Structures are given as C-alpha cells and as structure tokens.
Structure 1
Amino acid sequence: MAKFEPTLKEERYQMLRFVDAENYVTTFLRCVIFSTDATVSDLMTGVEKVPAGDMNTPTKIWHDAREGLFGTYDRPGIDPQLIRVLSNGGNEKAFRWVIHAKGEHSGIIVREPFEDNSYSFLRFASSDDPSDAIPIVECPPAGQSDNTHSSGVGRSDLLAVISHKLNTRIERSNEMFVTDDVVAVLQYDSLNWLDFYISTSLDIDSLYVNGDLVKPAHFGRKPDEVGGGFYVPVPKGAKAGDTLQMRFVYKGTVIRRIRDYTLLTSSILWYPQHGSRQLSRFHLTFTHPPSMTLKSVGDMISSKEIDDDHITSTWQPSYPIRNASFNIGIYKERKLDAKEDVPTSSIYYVTSAGIDNVSISVSQALEFYTKLYGKLPVSHIYATEMLGYHGEAFPGLIHLSDEAFANFTDAFFQEQFTAHEISHQWWGIACDYDSPRDRWISEGFAEYSALMYTQLASTSKSKFFDLLDKYRNDIYGRGAGTIGKKQLPPCVRLGHRVSIGGENNDYNNFVYYKGAWTLHMLRNMLIDLSTFNEDKFMSAMREIYAKGRTQRMSTDTVRAVFERYAGFRLDWFFDQWLYRGELPEYTFAWKKEKQQDGTWKVTMRVRQSGVPPSFFMIVPITVKFDDKPPVRFRINMTGEQAIMEMPPLPDEPDEIIFNDFRSVLCKVSTESF
C-alpha cells in the first residue's frame, strides 16, 4: 500500500481535486523506487520482490521511470533536484517512488531534501506513463512551513547571495558583455556544487571562486548548449557560514531589435541567479551607445560620456531588492509634474499615440496610491515602453506594454493595465509576500488597487462593477482540467502552481481576479452600511503596507490585520476563499404580506449550492421602497437552504436586492417563493 498525506490544508484540497480524497491511499500493482540511502530497503521490508530485469533489458515500468529522472539519449536532462543531492555527497535522504495502481490512481511520491516543499505527489496524466506525470501536491514536512527568512533565503537555497556588482557593456549590435562580482554565504556543510541559472542566450566565458579560475559543470546537458542551468564548484573544506567571492564573466544577446523597439528577452536572467526570493544588494554599471537611453532599478549615481560611441552610468538601489532589471531603447522622454510625497516620474516611450493617456494614468495612480497606502521607499519612477502584451515592475522601474500606448481606447489598457503595474511598487515590491503561496498579496492586491483607481478615475460610473462582473464570469467560466473529469476550481493559495493540471488562464483568473475579489468581499464586509464609511478597510490596507515595509507578508498576517479591524475571527473566510476553491451559487426568493396593523411581513428564502453545506457567508440585503430611503442589513447564510423573516416593515417594499454592491463572489438567480 502507498500513502501520501499532505501536511497543509490547501494541499489537502488540491489532492481532493485530483484523486477525490484529501489523502492519497492506494494498493499498487507494481512500483519502482529510486533512493539515495537505505529508503528502498526500509520500504520493502517484508515485501516479496520480483526482479524487474537488468539495466540493458529493462521492463517498460523501469524504462519509463528511469527516463523521468535521467532523460533519453536524444533528450538528456537529469532531474535538477537529483543532481543537487548526488553532486553534494548524496547524504541527504531523497527518493522517488513510481507507483502503478488500478484505474486513475497511478502516481509518483517524491522527497527532495533541498526544496522548501520537500515532499510532492505527481499524478500520471495518462494511465500508465510516468514520463508525463504532473506535480499535483507539494508540501513541507509535518510541523514546518515553506515560509522564507526575512532575507528571502529558504531551505532550497544552498547559499545566501549578499550582493551583485554588475558591469555591463552593450554594443550597437546589441551584444552584451558582463562581469558580475557576487558575494555569497554558504548555507550548508559538505557542499560540492552550487546551481545557478542564466538566460540560454548567454554564455559563461570564465568563472572565478575566491580568486581561483574554475570550470562550471553542465550536468545532464549537451556540451555545446549555451546558458541555462550550470553548476559552480565549492572550494574543498568550505562549510556553512563561509563567504564565497565569485566572478562570472559572460556574454551574449538578450536584447533584440524589432522595428523601432528594443526588446529585453529576459528581464531578470540577464545575470546569474540562485534562488528566486532572495534580497541582495546591487551595484550596476552600464556602458552603451549614446543614441540609446537606458534606465535601471535604483538611483543613478553618475553618468558620463566615455567617447563618441559610449556613455556610462552607475545605478544603486538604496536597500536590498529581489530582482534587478533595466530597459534600453531609442526613447522619447516625458517628465511628469512633481507632487508632494510622490516620487518624481518620467515616461520613456516609442509610440506617441497614447502618451497623454499613459501620462495621466501614471501620474494619477502614483498620487492616488500614495494617499491611500503611504509613501514609497524610492525617489523616482521610470515607466518604460516595451514590446509585448505584458508588463513587469521592479523597484522604481516599470516595463509597460506598447499596447498601453497604442491601444489607449481599450477599456482595459486605458486605465487598468498601467494602474496595476504602478500599484506593484506598493504590492509585491515595497510590501513583498512571504511564500509563493502568498502571491495573491502581490497580484490580487495590485489588481484590486487598480480596480479602486478605476472606481475613482473612470468616466463610466459602472466600469468598476463591470470589471468585477467580468472577473467573476472568468472565474466561474473555468472548464475541465487536463486530467480526468471536470475538476473543482483551484484555490488561490496554490500561487504559481494554480494552473497545474488545469487551464492556462487559471493563474490570471484565480491569483489575480479571485485575489482581488477576496479584498472586495473584505471591503464590503467591513463597510458601514448606514454611512458607507470605509475607514476600517482602508486602515487595514495601510497597516498591511506599513508592516510589509519591515517584514514579508504572509496570508496569516494579512488575516490577523483584517480581524483586528473587523472585530471578529476571519479564519472561516480565508479558509473558504483562499485555502479552498468551491464557488457558491445562490437562488433567492421573497414574498410580502400586509398585516392587520398595516405593517408588512417579508419572508426570504435562500438556496445555496456549489459549496459544502458548512459554507458560511455574510451577505448584504437592500430593501427598496417606492418613495422612502432603502433599508440595508446583512444576513448570515449557511447550509443548503435558509428561510428568514424580516422584522415588520412600516412601508410596502418595492424591491429586495440580494448581495447588493456585488459584495460576495457568487452567482445569483431568483425564483418565485
């Protein structure tokens, strides 16, 4: 029998989506176990073992399982986590248990000791082929979390990167020559190799560790492959806490010229990366043709012309940051008017058609968010146009899609897109999230901030609610996943893994849109229905931002802040909307009866479906009259059906609105009582 019991509640829900139970338990027909220690012997004690054949004539199950770890002759590619264990002595306990069971219960159980989530379960996408297994569940050992240190260093990081000193020369051909001096501290004893990643368009020329010229390794890859993953040797005898000084010298082309645009093909893999969440100090020097304008993260320390063909500028962020980037192009510049407490800002653009609209959005959004949340820790914002249908934000630097400039009549790009990227200066950068499971604190908060900006800036009074409706329809419109029958909707807490085994747009629909809807529901739960005072919600958002300036924000910390302003526990709310994914549907009916004393008796019936019977929600009700002000109150809804009677009304009600102001993410239909 094989068993996998997820240690986190969001992962138990994820298991339920794919195997119809919160724990994986199956009797297997056959299995293959790979292990770096005595795990195989321990697991197989008392089990009758049948030889699977030798290495030269493997059975299909052995052949398929081996390919999953080591690749094929035509497609070499050793599992990176296996490389980590084997290249560093193989002393850490790692295993992969490939299980063939009846029906749809075949899967793979994995332990990867150098991962934040060291245990994972993969389910076969087809009935008997482990080569296309999909990682469904990932979780840390029992009693542990996958939260990172405040510096961003997690269990998966073999070293803490303290600083990068990058000297980059960009030629007219767009070829880039870079030297990166890295200072880092080892996190483990007895390490032999450290894994780094860089764009596949870049090639390492030379590598030095503590002054010695060394040769990087490319385990499991063809010798002529450029860039990508590579491994740096650790000096013999080095132990945890030792400092390494590394110099990477490399070159290549990550900058492409397309018509009038210069495209940076990798915004962060233009320098060697180890770990994706670490905070490091950066000192950046760029040399480039004077015909081009370059803007980087950080404050510009100096800029000077070297000769007729080159200009050099030096940039340095004032505090440790997660990712460093830049943008370069033949730009026109527009400086925006300075405002009190708001960083100065400039736009660098190619497309002139929409520059006025983009300028208004950038200027107004910066002022709006500063008043709403507080000051930013940067003194200047550079918004730079980039070819493509996406945007990306870094400390003080924004990559804006050319669509924001050219397609300024589009309802989304006119306000939402630019406002979303601007809001990332607060959410995801100045206030960063803790674990990858907390990504909604970046994307959901940024998306709802953009919605609130639209509520203020749009000339259409209905646009805010129109966008909420669109997001709701996209969330509810999710189709069947890629594995098996139609799945339950994914939960927000899966973070970047939300699309696994599902649909490509799940990340956008659930981390962005449902994350934003979660804040909208909290906002309307905290609002005073008689005065529409929103001080509680706005104060909570300001406090979350202020806390995030000194610590990485987790979902639990966000919940604790909202609980303090709500005055009651919200664990039920966060469990339903972030840790699980079921979506409610309500059918509402009401009737009115005039009483002998002239008052009106109103009875309401609510049917709830699509969620467990225990699902609980606070729903606002608005009673409208022909010539009197409306009456507003909230009801507590749980169970499959509830029948409620209002207190006697002195006047005849004309209309009753269930879930007014789109206060709950749900579908609502009406029926006769």
Structure 2
Amino acid sequence: MNSKLLNIFLIIFTIAVHVNIFSQKQLGSNYEKVLNELLNMKVDSARTGSIEKYTLTRDAGKYFFESGIVYPCKPINEKIRAAVFVGKGIFSYMPPLKIEQDQLSRFYEKRNLNSEFEYVFMLFADSTFEELEKHFSYENLNNYDNADDVIKETLRFISDKDKKYFETVLMKAVLEDRRNIFFFSGFENEDSRRMFYEVDPFSSEEIKLHEGHLEGFNRRTRLDNVNSFNAVSDKINNEEKYNDFIDIEKYKLDVTIEENADFSASAEIIFIPEAGNQKYLNFLMYHKLEIDSVLFQNQKHTKFFKPEDNANLRIEFEEELKTDSVYSLKVFYKGDVLERNLNAWFYLKTSGGWFPRYGTRKYSNYELTFKYPSSMDLLSVGEKIYESEIGRVKFARWTTKEKIRNASFNIGAFKTFEYNEVGIPKIKVYHSKYGHRGSVRGIENEVGSDVVNAVKYFRDNFGEIESDSLTVTEIPFYHGEAFPDLIHLSFVTFTNTRYTGFDHKFRGHEVAHQWWGINVDFETYHDQWLSEGFAEYSGLMFLQHESENDEKFNTILEEYKDEIINNRKQIFWEGQESGPIYLGIRTSGKETEGDYNLIIYRKGAWVLHMLRMMLTDHSTKDDSKFKNMMKEYYQTYKGKKANTAGFHKIVNKHFNENMDWFFNQWVYDTFIPFYNFAYETEKTEDGKYKIKCKTSLENSYPEHKAIVPILIKSEDEKFERYFIKLEGDKTELELPPISFEPDEIIFDYLNSVLGEVDYVDWEDIE
C-alpha cells in the first residue's frame, strides 16, 4: 500500500472511530435521565392523602372518587406527572357519536359506561395533580396498598424497559417542561377487563378509549382501540394544538448496499418546525437499524437516543427550534434491513422504515442516491437523473418531481421487459432471473400485458395519470405494494396466472393504486377504503373486462359476500361483530383479526359494486353513468386528499338524490340485510299475469333501503326484468302485468346487493 492510499485509509478509519466513540457519548443525554425516572416511577410517601366524593372530568370521561387514597408519584424532571388512586370509584363515559357508541357496544354490550374500579393510575401533563390536591387530606402512610404494583402493571402497556421506550407525547412534554392537556389513565373494571382512557392534544382525534390484553407465553401487551373521536370540551378545542410538530421539505438519502446485502446510509432531513420552542423530535425507523451519529445543520453533532431493537429515534437539540426557520439533520446509520439468499433474492424487510420517518403520512420531496453491486439492478421511486458504473459498483440517483408520501426501492438480478405504447406511461417489468424455478414460460409477458391493459382500462374509465414511466418489480413476498410510479408485485403472480382470475385482479389492484391512494390520496384512516376498497373493485372490474364472461368476477364477489356475512359465525357461537368501513384500521383487534382486509378491501369493493349496479342500464349493460361518476371523483381530487364526505357529495350528484341512506347503512353502520321473499301470481281477464311481491327483514332495520333487481322467467325462457325499491322492515308491491306465465322469480339475480335471501311462502310474511 503506497503512502497516499495509507493516508486516505487512516483518515477514513479515524473518522469511523470518531463516529463510533461520539455515538456512545450521545446516550448520556437528559433524555435517559427522564426516561429512567418514568420507567421506574414510585409512590412519593410524603404526599399521600385521602379523598372523598370528588369527580375529575376529562372531556367525555369522568372519574368519581367515592373514597380512597391518592398516592402521587415521585417528581419527574422536578414535577409530579403521575398518581395512583386506591379505593372505590366509578368511571363514567359516553362517546358523543353514534358510530362510536355502536363500537363501544360491540366490546361491552352497552352504549355508555359506568364502570366500578378499585384503583386507577393517572399520567398527565395537565393540572390533574393540582385539582386532586385541593380535595384530599394529606396523610403520612407507610402502607401503599400495592400502589407501586399498580404503576408497574399499567406502565407495561405504554412503555418497555428492555427497549427503553416510553409513551412519546408525555415524554416530549416532560423533556420540554411543557404543560398541555395530555392525560392517560388505566384501571380494571368490575369484570377485570383492563381499560385505558386517554386525552392526546396532538392526535387528530384527541379522545381515545383502549382495552388492554396480555397475550402469549411471554404475556405480551396489546392495546385495542375501542373509541377514538374529537374532543367535545371547549377547553380542549380552544387549546393550541399541533398535529404535526414539523413539516419535512426534503429527504436526501444516500445508501450503500454491498454484495452480501450489508446496508449503510445517511439521511439528510430538511424541515421547518410548525410549533415553536421544541427541543426534542421523534422519528420512526426499522428497529434493527443502528445510528452512528447525527449532525445538526450539517456541522454540529447533536444528541440522539435509539436503543437496540427500538423503532424510535429521539433527537435532542441544544437550543429550542423556531417556527418558520429551515433546519437540517443528517443521520448516519446502518443495520440489518436487507437479506440475501442463495437465489439472489434481496429481501427488503421494511418497504418504508429503511430511513428515519416523521410519521407515516407526511409528504416530502426525495433525492435518493444508491451505491450497489454492478451485477444487480436497483429500482426506486422518482426519476433517474444519473447513473454510472465504476468497476463492480454502480452509482445512481433518483429525484421526485413533487412531494410524495411513501418512498421505497427494490434490488435484485432481473430480466427487463419494456412496453412502449402511445397514450400511456412507458412501462418496464423486472422479473427475477434466479429467484424461483417452475414459472410458466412467458409469465413475464402475461404480467406485462396485464399491467399495460390495466393502465389503459383505468385511463379510459377514470382519467389520465401524470406519469412518464411506470416500473413494475418482482419482490420475494406474498403481498403487493404501490408507490408513485413504482409497483411491487409478489413473486407468486410471476409463477403462473391462476384460472380463478385472482392474478388479473391482484395485478389490476396494484396498478389501480396509481389512481386510488397515490394520485387521489385519502385524508384519514376513516377514508382508507377510498384507496384499498376502490383499488380492489378496480381490480375486479379489470378482471371482468379481460374475461370472456362475468363468471370469475361474480365468483369472487360471491366469495367476498360469504366471508363478510359469515365472519366468525360458528355452529354454536358467534364472535364479535365486525365494525363498519368508516372505522378503517380500527376494525382489526384481538377479537377481530383479519377484519381490516375483509371490511376495508372486500366490503369496500362491494359498496362500489352496489353503486355501479344501481347506475347501470342492465338492458344494454351500459355502466357509463357509474364510470362518469368515478371520473368526476378522480378529477375533483386528483393531487389531493379525499374523504368519505367528499365522495358522498359526488354520489349524490350522479344519483340526483340524497344518498345518506346508502352511506349510513353501508359505510357508517354494519347492517347486512337478510331477506325473506315471497310472491304470488294471478291470471287476469285479459290473459296477462299479475305478480305481487313481499319482502321482510329477519334482522330489523327500520332505516333500510335497497334497490333490488327481479328476474321473471317462463318455462320457454321468456323473461322480464324489474327493479324494486325496498324500504324499512317490510315491503309489499305489485309489478306491472306481464304477458307470460311466470315459472320462476329470482330475487337479486344480478348479485347487486350485499345480503342474503330466503324464499318463503306468502303467508310466512305477516
């Protein structure tokens, strides 16, 4: 080694050692001191006191302390932030919204709570202690009534000693010595169910009720969100709130990937504070990533805290951040985020957590630079603006033209197939060279053709997307995922195209996300069905378009219907009822595993199907009214975030009526009709046949409305079609006379309503 190379090596080595030594120094921050105080909270024996007949109100929740002892905890950062009550009390609670009352009833079979408790643990950044202190008498007690055990048991649900984690909102308030309206409490009710009530000023929905569970041999903790809604208290609504502490202008990501899948990177984060006087920020990233160092304003090392196997990166600043100022953080990190097997598959273990993210729905510009083996291909979001190759290493850079929500990449050894057609983006399909064996010959062209045809179909029926190119890449997982101009498709769909139609639907679903979820984003978790449900039904429409008939389309819809109707129904018992579409991710819980996919994707698709069926001219199969409605929705919200209310307005316009009845039943509620259907016929004097129909609901729902197609058939294959409007629990009507004798009358012959029907005798419906 010559002297010049040796000097370079020594410089690099010295820098590396400096970074590692400095990173160890970062852990000795004030953050650790406060964290340890929170994780090891104990009762303060000098401040205990008795309390009687006092009510502590926190928005929709009220704690009535009938009689007992208040045990304040020892100060944290010199202030009392927690207390335990032991004695007799009642927690009263009633959510203000019907949809939340319904959800409460699914958990507890009641629409409001008056739950008795023998203890309650309270964490707060507000005036809780001062309010309690005014109403209790100090007593010097040596017996703590197991108050420390109560603290320990409750903290399990919002902290983790091994991973050095504590609830972020209170942590930030304590560190910055702020007072805000944060309040978190936990207790067991009279049925020994763990309940947690929370007021979080920095959440889009400030009030939350959770139920806690301990699962498995290791007794892992789990919090299921029962209720979540906006505060009703003027005090909370008038409080200055910041749902986003910072706005990220740009990410500059510089990534190095080695042949053996070793991963290292730097992330420069350019941001503007939206709230002043901040000294701490929390970012999320894959838990196996390790931080080497963090630079502030590209020159000064700043303190950080990210323990091993923890997804939270906390950064501490020497001075408070100021609003309207532009700041820069540069995070140097590495870790086990990629894995490579013998078949040259690269497994990216997290599609979105491979860099420090501030929340999961922030829009930012991206500049992504990758250094990787020249034997591999790397595909990223954005437009490739630079690529070079030196020896066995490639360098490439991508930039985004506008702010996007999600950024990802894929790497591997691929065969490339290009599709250049007028009127659509240039499409490239990347199929793994060595990742699997046994694929059907030419499968990559089947995938490519589906992508091309899906883009054309959605363009014609929904509108144009502003993309010059679309990259489709195979990943070694069972799912698909879409990003702006980049689609990840499962290796399974590159194996063969199944006769059931699943692969056409699956490929169409992921392509459709370029319209639903990317060009038209959703506003909150309540509106996620506008992305996933719309993409799912778009995939089904594409399958129908590509098929010779509607058999596969209808078969999948029937399967979805059966799964939705019979979810958790066993011979001798029924599990917890599924929640409505509008609850989004909250449909999934301990007792409702899998409901997110079932309700948001599949029931969401059924909602669109019912709208389409009502707008279709079934004599000609012309569904242009439905497609025009979807076009207007797409054009209205293109480049924006849509919500359910906005889609509702467009539906009203195209139906030329108020469709509250439809959205109330299918989006905000869980009702699914079970019909009894009967009919009788009578020959008239002029030789025609008069038909009377009668329906009733087995499950009463007075607000029910539906438009149902009826098919009347004769023995010699003559037929008539009618649409009947059902309202309330019972409908009786007479159809126009027909010229032939009916042999069979089929209720909902078009499979246009998510429900079930039982054919009964006329007298069976009273």
* Counterpart check, 1:157 vs 2:244: yes
Partners of 2:166 and 2:715 in 1: how far apart?
A: 72
Partners of 2:511 and 2:356 in 1: how far apart?
A: 27
Q: By how many angstroms is 1:207 displaced? A: 0.7
Is contact 1:293-1:331 (8 Å) kept? Answer: yes
**Match of 1:577?**
666
Partners of 2:683 and 2:342 in 1: how far apart?
A: 73
Which residues in structure 2 correspond to 1:625-636 (within 5 Å)? 625-626=714-715, 630-636=719-725
> Which of 153, 168, 175 is the aligned partner of 2:255?
168
Partners of 2:214 and 2:160 in 1: how far apart?
A: 19
Which is further off, 607-616 or 179-188? Answer: 607-616
Amino acid at match of 2:532: E
Amino acid at match of 2:409: F
> Which of 253, 268, 278 is the aligned partner of 2:362?
278
Q: By how many angstroms is 1:3 displaced? A: 2.9
Q: 1:563 to 1:358 in 2, by over 3 A?
A: same
Q: Secondary structure, in 3 states, of the residue corresponding to 2:320?
A: coil
Partners of 1:448 and 1:52 in 2: how far apart?
A: 64
**Match of 2:423?**
341
Partners of 1:449 and 1:7 in 2: how far apart?
A: 35
Amino acid at match of 1:84: K
Q: By how many angstroms is 1:254 displaced? A: 1.7
Q: 1:461 to 1:522 in 2, by over 3 A?
A: closer
**Match of 2:592?**
503
Partners of 1:296 and 1:75 in 2: how far apart?
A: 32
- Calculate the TM-score normalised by the size of structure 1: 0.91
Q: By how many angstroms is 1:590 displaced? A: 1.2
Amino acid at match of 2:567: R
Which is further off, 506-515 or 575-584? Answer: 575-584
Q: 1:123 to 1:565 in 2, by over 3 A?
A: same
Is contact 2:245-2:274 (8 Å) kept? Answer: yes
Q: Secondary structure, in 3 states, of the residue corresponding to 1:269?
A: coil
> Which of 397, 406, 412 is the aligned partner of 1:314?
397
Q: By how many angstroms is 1:54 displaced? A: 6.7
**Match of 1:151?**
none
Q: By how many angstroms is 1:518 displaced? A: 0.4
Partners of 1:518 and 1:592 in 2: how far apart?
A: 33
**Match of 1:406?**
495
Identical positions, percent: 29
* Counterpart check, 1:142 vs 2:224: no
Q: 1:625 to 1:231 in 2, by over 3 A?
A: same
Q: 1:7 to 1:585 in 2, by over 3 A?
A: same
> Which of 117, 121, 128 is the aligned partner of 1:32?
121
Q: Following superposition, which runs of at least 4 residues in structure 1 exceed 4 angstroms of deviation?
A: 43-57, 124-127, 129-133, 626-629
* Counterpart check, 1:22 vs 2:111: yes
Q: By how many angstroms is 1:26 displaced? A: 3.2
Which residues in structure 2 correspond to 1:248-647 (within 5 Å)? 248-260=331-343, 261-305=345-389, 307-336=390-419, 338-350=420-432, 353=440, 354-409=443-498, 411-459=500-548, 461-479=550-568, 486-610=575-699, 612-626=701-715, 630-647=719-736
Partners of 1:510 and 1:276 in 2: how far apart?
A: 22
Q: By how many angstroms is 1:460 displaced? A: 5.1
Partners of 1:23 and 1:257 in 2: how far apart?
A: 53
Partners of 1:466 and 1:53 in 2: how far apart?
A: 70
**Match of 1:150?**
none
Is contact 1:115-1:156 (8 Å) kept? Answer: yes
Partners of 1:169 and 1:436 in 2: how far apart?
A: 34
Which is further off, 77-86 or 315-324? Answer: 77-86
Is contact 1:89-1:191 (8 Å) kept? Answer: no
> Which of 165, 170, 183 is the aligned partner of 1:82?
170
Q: 1:45 to 1:588 in 2, by over 3 A?
A: farther
**1:535-582 superposed Cα distances (whole Å, 9 cap, x missing partner):** 221011111111221321100111111110100011221121111122
Q: 1:99 to 1:401 in 2, by over 3 A?
A: same
> Which of 285, 288, 292 is the aligned partner of 1:205?
292
Is contact 2:661-2:703 (8 Å) kept? Answer: no
**Match of 1:147?**
none
**1:349-400 superposed Cα distances (whole Å, 9 cap, x missing partner):** 1255322321221121111111111111111111111101101111111111
Q: 1:5 to 1:255 in 2, by over 3 A?
A: same
Q: 1:66 to 1:262 in 2, by over 3 A?
A: closer
Partners of 2:469 and 2:537 in 1: how far apart?
A: 24
Structure 2 unaligned runs (5+)? 1-89, 235-240
Partners of 2:459 and 2:619 in 1: how far apart?
A: 28
Q: Secondary structure, in 3 states, of the residue corresponding to 1:653?
A: coil
Is contact 1:84-1:114 (8 Å) kept? Answer: no
Partners of 1:410 and 1:45 in 2: how far apart?
A: 73
Q: Secondary structure, in 3 states, of the residue corresponding to 2:535?
A: helix
Which is further off, 3-12 or 377-386? Answer: 3-12
Q: 1:52 to 1:6 in 2, by over 3 A?
A: farther
**1:614-664 superposed Cα distances (whole Å, 9 cap, x missing partner):** 222222222234558633333232333332222333432232221231111
Partners of 2:536 and 2:564 in 1: how far apart?
A: 14
Q: By how many angstroms is 1:124 displaced? A: 4.4
* Counterpart check, 1:177 vs 2:259: no
Q: By how many angstroms is 1:600 displaced? A: 1.8
Partners of 2:294 and 2:334 in 1: how far apart?
A: 12
Q: 1:661 to 1:125 in 2, by over 3 A?
A: same
Q: 1:181 to 1:669 in 2, by over 3 A?
A: same
* Counterpart check, 1:245 vs 2:332: no
Q: 1:56 to 1:21 in 2, by over 3 A?
A: closer
Q: Secondary structure, in 3 states, of the residue corresponding to 1:347?
A: strand
Which is further off, 388-397 or 79-88? Answer: 79-88
Q: 1:85 to 1:635 in 2, by over 3 A?
A: farther
Partners of 2:142 and 2:482 in 1: how far apart?
A: 54
Partners of 1:398 and 1:611 in 2: how far apart?
A: 45
Is contact 1:199-1:269 (8 Å) kept? Answer: yes
Q: By how many angstroms is 1:12 displaced? A: 2.9
> Which of 189, 192, 200 is the aligned partner of 1:112?
200
Is contact 2:425-2:469 (8 Å) kept? Answer: yes
Partners of 1:242 and 1:24 in 2: how far apart?
A: 47
Q: 1:565 to 1:551 in 2, by over 3 A?
A: same
* Counterpart check, 1:233 vs 2:323: no
Q: 1:473 to 1:179 in 2, by over 3 A?
A: same
Partners of 1:426 and 1:253 in 2: how far apart?
A: 33
Q: Secondary structure, in 3 states, of the residue corresponding to 1:236?
A: strand
Partners of 1:176 and 1:75 in 2: how far apart?
A: 23
Amino acid at match of 2:322: K
Q: By how many angstroms is 1:501 displaced? A: 3.4
Q: By how many angstroms is 1:313 displaced? A: 1.3
Q: 1:182 to 1:641 in 2, by over 3 A?
A: same
Q: 1:577 to 1:38 in 2, by over 3 A?
A: same
**RMSD of equivalent CA atoms:** 2.8
**Match of 1:95?**
183
Q: Secondary structure, in 3 states, of the residue corresponding to 2:474?
A: strand
Structure with the higher fraction of residues in strand conformation: 2
Q: Secondary structure, in 3 states, of the residue corresponding to 1:68?
A: coil
Structure 1 unaligned runs (5+)? 145-153
Which is further off, 193-202 or 354-363? Answer: 354-363
Partners of 2:553 and 2:326 in 1: how far apart?
A: 52
Which is further off, 10-19 or 432-441? Answer: 10-19
- Calculate the TM-score normalised by the size of structure 2: 0.80
Structure ranking higher on relative contact order (CA contacts 8 Å, 6+ apart): 1
Which is further off, 107-116 or 616-625? Answer: 616-625
